Amino acid sequence: MFAQLIVEETIYYLAVGIVNIVNILDPELVIIGGGIANAGRELFQPLRAAVNQEFKSMYRQVKIVRGGMKNGHDIAPIAVPVYLEGLEAKASG
């Protein structure tokens, strides 16, 4: 019972962190990588529900996906070009 409360609280704070990042950077996609991504469905279903609960007033949904590699090395090569592309699009339009 106590362990379940710790997991639920951790998911809540992770969701709050994701919501804050989305509000600041406005990404279309959030990639969860590294060891935490290995939790799989037990993490991602309640995490998506918590993020959606925090985003009740948002005009669009943000996708949350699991990174492909277990150690998180796959995230930076994807995230940086996508982020820079978004900056260029916002600057030009």
- The whole domain housing 65 covers 2-84
Do 32 and 65 contact (CB within 8 A), yes or no? yes
Our CA dihedral for 31, 36, 38, 44, rounded to 10 degrees, sits at -60
Residue 93 within a domain: no
How many independent structural domains does the chain possess?
1
Backbone angles phi, psi at 56, to 5 degrees: -50, -35
Rounded Cα distance, 92 and 46, in Å: 37
Q: What pLDDT, on a 0 to 100 scale, did the predictor assign at position 42?
A: 85
For the stretch 33-82, pLDDT in tens is 777 877 888 888 999 999 888 877 666 778 888 876 655 555 555 555 55
Q: What pLDDT, on a 0 to 100 scale, did the predictor assign at position 36?
A: 80
pLDDT at position 30 over 80: yes
Residue 16 within a domain: yes
Return the CATH number at 49: 3.30.420.40
For the entire predicted model, the pTM comes to: 0.69
Residue 92 within a domain: no
Alpha helical stretches, state H, the chain? 2-25, 41-54, 75-92
